[in-house]
Structure 1
Amino acid sequence: MYRAVMVDRLEQSKALAGEARLAILGWLAESDRHFGHQATGAPSEIGVCVTLIAEKLEMAQPTVSRHLELLRRAGFLSVNKIGRWSYFRRNEAAIEDYKRWIDEHL
């Protein structure tokens, strides 16, 4: 059991080891402020489209999709699929759980 939990925590830590991924999490904390121009719906309600995140990062969409997938697999993001589009938002419960774990173990 310990090993399974450690692997999850290690994956979470690895997911946070990138400037772009930290920026994404920061922007999504205030998604309406950073992505309020999203035409398909309020970012705080449906999430933020990958295209807008790629534009803000000034990176190619496939690269941004890889960053988002790492954060999603770590549990820090959830994805909302609407048609062929994917919208991402923070998973606040998972982020708070990780913060508690860090506080307890460092």
Structure 2
Amino acid sequence: FPDYATIITDPIDINKIEKRLNTDRYGCLSSSGGSAELAVSAILKDLTLLRDNAHTYNTGAENVEVRIMADCLLHYFKYLLKECLVYLKAQHTCKDAMAMAQA
């Protein structure tokens, strides 16, 4: 996709989001526990950017499936993040939630 960088000015992919999760770039896994709400907000921002980029790059009728999949992925992750917050509010830490999600 040689034109991707000219169309998408703020690229992100699912691997980058996973790396940020695993290296605590969202501030959830710090020894102090981090703020679950802030971490979820930052994760959601990146996931929304992922969806928006998919819509921006994949225009036209021939790419409608890509846009639908991007919407479904964002919707699914919103559900998972909501469940994660419920889990965290039940007195668990962000680290516990990450371990549960990876199990």
- Regarding TM over 0.5, the answer is no
Higher alpha-carbon Rg: 2
Q: Which has the higher helix share?
A: 2
Superposition TM-score, scaled by structure 2 size: 0.31
Superposition TM-score, scaled by structure 1 size: 0.30
Q: Which has the higher strand share?
A: 1
